[in-house]
Structure 1
Amino acid sequence: MIRVKSFFVWLTFYLVVWGASIFPLFEDLDQHIWRLLGVAFFFSLFFITPLFKENRQYLTISFCLQIGIVAFIFFPIETYNVNQFVLFIFVLLMAEATERLPVKQMVIVHLLSFLAIMVTFIFGSVSLMTFLFNIFFIIIVLAGFIFYKSRYVRYQYLLSQYEKLSSEFRTLKRRIVRDEESARQEERHMIGQEIHDSVGHKLTSLIMQLEAYRIQLETKDSPHVDRLKKLADESLEETRRAVKTYKQKEVGGLQGVMRLIRKLELESFIRVHFSVNHGAFAAPLTGEQSFTIYRAVQEGLTNMMKHSKTREAQITFDAPGGSIFRFEMTNPVKHTHNIKEGYGLISMRERLEKLGGGLETQRHEKQFILRGWVRLKERGDRHDSSASS
């Protein structure tokens, strides 16, 4: 889109300058018809030039041909004197070459343009002061183009270095997040293994000793020993459940949701402000609920980056009463038309509804609000479901 706009800008400049330059030719069409054919050939090359934008050699040849055509069209003879507007045509050609060509090819076009200007005005019947003014003007313009090109090349170099460093920074950030997660998971495995090896084995030994003690008693029916053995069995089962939980990947809870959002924030160069209210950290979110909430927030941030120029959002989490978990994302918008929900938001609503929740969008003044919620399971229900599984 930017290249199309640039093409039409150059076309406008050329039409204005060429219109002023060839206007005297229409006074005697029979005498200057070949010059007008040259103008048509020039614009044919102008429209073909974008086809060679990736081939610098052909692009340089095209500019050189256009310079030769301009010098041929406006070369002064007895029946035609040089037109001062021709100078601006050469300036436009040099400016376009400065923008589209590398330094070496740009210098070739500039030197050829300078020689064409010199020849055109030397053979034209212009005064010495006009000739010197035109040469001085061209020298100033050439110096300006060279300065601009040097600054532009420097800018492109710095931009490439910035993009390279930015890519390395994002890679390093992802590696740090991945290493931290790996370290946490390794630590959880180590703690779980330690609990299993120490407490679990001791509880198993205690159960075996209680069973041996019960056998050694004169009577096999000992309620006190049975209660102790049952308590030891329950403790061992709780220990195994805790070890199993520690060895699982840590994905549940608000902490996991926020960690995933922070990772997305680093990768997408956005800024997210969090606000946690009403016991949201203690909310018993399952892994599925946490992942669905993260996906809903991710979809909201994606829509923000797609439909708004801002890169900043506010996210609020709360769990009022401990029965539902709510999240609300707000970001500023500039356009005033209504926002139509796409497939992403509709899909997120369906996933939240399957978890007993919902999703809604709202437009308030200059803000877009995405609000969602899920129903929380009671802790007893969670333990029952885990035990039955």
Structure 2
Amino acid sequence: MTAIIIRTIFLSVLWGVLIYDSSQDSISMISLMMICSLSFALFFITPVSRNKLFLYICQTLLLLVSSLVSPEPLLAWGIFCYFHLEASIHLLPEKYRLFMYSTVLFFGVEAFLFWDSYTPAVIPFFAMFLFMTWKVNEGSHDLKEQRLLYDQLLGEYRKLKRVLYTAERNSKAEERTRIAREIHDSVGHNLTALLMKIEMLSIQHGYSLFKEIKNLAAASLDETREAVKALKEGEIEGIQSVIQLIRKLESESSVMVELTTQHGVLSTRLTNKQNIAVYRCIQEGITNAMKHSCVKEVKVTLGKTALGHLHFIITNQLDEVRPFQMGFGLTNMKERVEELGGKLEIHQTDKEFILRGAFPVEEVATA
């Protein structure tokens, strides 16, 4: 949107000066105003038209006529060069060659009919300009092909990552199920058999003698069942859940996340509330970058401060500077961090959007 506004202003200034210079001759001024109106109509129609070649040819004819009508043809030739350069960027090579041939034909006819008004220096300049735009057209087309190929390769890479992520997740789930089944079938059954034998011995020799052993075996059986249940659910907590989240987002979208983990942060055990806060903050930070930036690259840093606080930094590049507004997601994110006794800082520069948060860690006690 900004580009078309700048182009419109630029062309308006050129046409305005051209028409102003012809104000001494009313016929020339009226003719140029009509040509200007038609030229702007073609200018706004061309981007949405399927037949751009025909419209650029019409634009060329209008501008060649304006160079004859105008008392200052240099400005008309400047507008002509602008549209020719624009055509070299937007037209495919085969269509641009047709456009270039038609331009040479029109120029030749005009030069033949109005040779007295032409200077010899115009012809070599015109030839050099056409050669330059031809090279621009080739380079622009090659760049578009490379970009298209890159997008296709990136799409295939995303598909492959999605397949690998799904295969790894399924493989881990199968392995957890297998281990859980083996624990249940071996250790679980043995503990159940042990409890039955203890029960029989307690009946034969007195309950109080075997009470402590029975309670210990029952507790071991309960712990085994909890372990089997946890293995089947496959729940991942702590920083590992953040890594899984990043891999999931990368496999399902076009975002690329550069994750940096500092020493000691991966082994940090968090409470359930802390775990949820970290997970949701990282999730919201990446989602926010995906929504508000065309640049699909996010940097995430996880570490611990000198005070032992867990801190995270989420950074993404900005394609354009926009007024910052605290939305629901960032507000919710800030509240989560503050509930844990921490602080969330939000910074926006001309090039980057930065989320920086930290909160004290109350590590889960290990047995």
Partner of 2:47: 53
CA contact (8 A) 1:82 1:121 kept: no
| 1:101–1:230 distance in 2 versus 1, CA, 3 Å | same
Amino acid at match of 1:99: I
How many aligned residue pairs are there? Answer: 359
Partner of 1:144: 132
Tell me which stretches of 4 or more aligned residues in structure 1 moved more than 6 Å.
307-310, 318-321, 332-339, 364-367
Distance in 2 (alpha carbons) for counterparts of 1:197 and 1:56: 69
Task: Report the more deviating stretch, 86-95 or 190-199.
Answer: 86-95
1:300 aligns with 2:285: yes
| 1:147–1:280 distance in 2 versus 1, CA, 3 Å | closer
Partner of 1:271: 258
Of 224, 243, 246, which aligns to 1:261? 246
Q: Deviations over 1:305-328 (max 9, x none)?
A: 74898853432147978xxx6333
Distance in 1 (alpha carbons) for counterparts of 2:287 and 2:82: 42
CA contact (8 A) 1:313 1:331 kept: yes
Q: Secondary structure at the match of 1:126?
A: helix
Per-residue deviation at 1:41?
Answer: 2.5
CA contact (8 A) 1:289 1:374 kept: no
Report 1:161-200 matches (<5 A). Answer: 161-200=149-188
Distance in 1 (alpha carbons) for counterparts of 2:63 and 2:322: 50
Q: Which runs of 5+ in 1 are unaligned?
A: 384-389
Amino acid at match of 2:7: F
CA contact (8 A) 1:270 1:312 kept: yes
Q: Which runs of 5+ in 2 are unaligned?
A: none
Partner of 1:95: 85
Amino acid at match of 1:273: T
Distance in 2 (alpha carbons) for counterparts of 1:18 and 1:82: 7
Distance in 2 (alpha carbons) for counterparts of 1:319 and 1:260: 27
Amino acid at match of 1:283: R
Of 354, 359, 364, which aligns to 1:373? 359
Distance in 2 (alpha carbons) for counterparts of 1:336 and 1:2: 13
CA contact (8 A) 1:67 1:112 kept: no
| 1:284–1:368 distance in 2 versus 1, CA, 3 Å | closer
TM-score, normalising length: structure 1 = 0.75
Task: Answer with 1 or 2: which has the greater Rg.
Answer: 1
Per-residue deviation at 1:191?
Answer: 0.8
CA contact (8 A) 1:42 1:69 kept: yes
CA contact (8 A) 1:56 1:101 kept: no
| 1:293–1:343 distance in 2 versus 1, CA, 3 Å | same
TM-score, normalising length: structure 2 = 0.79
Amino acid at match of 2:34: F
Amino acid at match of 1:53: P
Q: Secondary structure at the match of 2:48?
A: coil
| 1:326–1:83 distance in 2 versus 1, CA, 3 Å | closer
Report percent identity of matched pairs: 25
Aligned-residue CA RMSD (Å): 4.0
| 1:275–1:141 distance in 2 versus 1, CA, 3 Å | same
